[in-house]
Amino acid sequence: MNDTDLIQQLRDMRYPTSIDVVAPVMEQVRNKPLLVPTHHTVNFRRVASTVAACLLLAVGTNITLLYTHNYDESKISNMIAEVYNYNASYADMNEASFGLGAIESLY
Amino acid sequence: MNEEEVIRDILAGNVNRYEEIVKEYQTIVANLCFKIGGAGIDIAEMTQQVFVELYMALPRFQFKSKLSTFIYRLTVNVVCKEIKHLSRWVTPSEDIIAPEVPSDDYNAEQQIIRNEQARQLHQALGRLHPEQRTALVLYTFNDFSYNDIADVMQCSTAKVESLIFRARKNLKKMLNP
């Protein structure tokens, strides 16, 4: 069998039985609701900034609550250190103390 | 059939129009399943599964490619998954279904010889590496271009060329030992 004949034979090859799957397919799909997506574009920058704002608000609220109800400078410093992802440097801690001073001045 | 109009109609809730798509493509899908999956799988069952999955995937169809390409890709995925599940590509047994090639161009004797050749070819096809077989089958299917095959198999055109080359070489080796 040469190359052309091989390709032709492959082209001619057919499933030998006639097929009709319309009825069983339709029976199945009628019971399946389609989830058609709506075409809203997601503005990832807006989503990210909203998430960041919520996070800051949550941290701020926690610090304020700590200050007003149970003032403990070390706890607040730790919390701020956590916000810095456990990598608070000496400078960061200074900044945190400065931040605490600012909070204190509000009250 | 205006495929885009039919699909939009289905997505809008007119499920009955899905019949048109099934009728149009069921024979093509069955043939593709048969050529890729061999006789080791239930072709009717597989064809049915392809159309149920196609229906569920319709909302993802973006009208950027042809519906036929989308259907072939889905068919290849469904058949490959099934074969992996069965851990075999084909059952190369003697009682494999011989594909009939009805043609007026041959007399009875020639027809018998061609059918025997077709049976041997089908068996040899089953011994090919899955990727090689899929690429070769698609190549001989509806005059697909290398780009179309690459699109269906989600690989590069160069890989498709290489797969087809190796598939032909291996097939010839098996058929002319």
Q: What is the pLDDT of residue A45?
A: 76
Specify burial of residue B77 (Cβ count, 10 A radius: 0-12, 13-18, 19+). middle
Domain-embedded: residue A17: no
Number of domains in chain A: 1
pLDDT at B95 over 50: no
Please tell me the distance from the alpha carbon of residue B165 to that of residue B167, in angstroms, as a whole number: 6
pLDDT band at B97; cut points 50, 70, 90 = very low
Domain-embedded: residue A74: yes
Domain-embedded: residue A6: no
Task: Select from A5, A6, A7, A27 the residue whose CB has the most chain B CBs within 10 Å, as the one to mutate to test that interface.
Answer: A6
Which residue in the set B59, B140, B175 is minimally distant from A37, CB to CB? B59
pLDDT band at A68; cut points 50, 70, 90 = low
Domain-embedded: residue A23: no
Domain-embedded: residue A20: no
pTM of the model: 0.65
CATH 1.10.1740.10 fits B1-89, yes or no: yes
pLDDT band at B156; cut points 50, 70, 90 = very high
Host domain of residue A76? 42-107
pLDDT band at A39; cut points 50, 70, 90 = low
Domain-embedded: residue A87: yes
Interface of A with B in 34-53 (CB under 8 A): 34-37
Question: What is the average pLDDT score of chain B?
Answer: 82
Domains of chain B, residue spans:
1-89
pLDDT at B105 over 80: no
Written as one letter, the residue type at B42 is: D
- Chain A CB contacts of B171 below 8 Å: 6
Distance of CA A42 to the CA centre of its chain: 12
Measured between CB atoms, does A27 come within 8 Å of chain B? no
Q: What is the pLDDT of residue A66?
A: 66
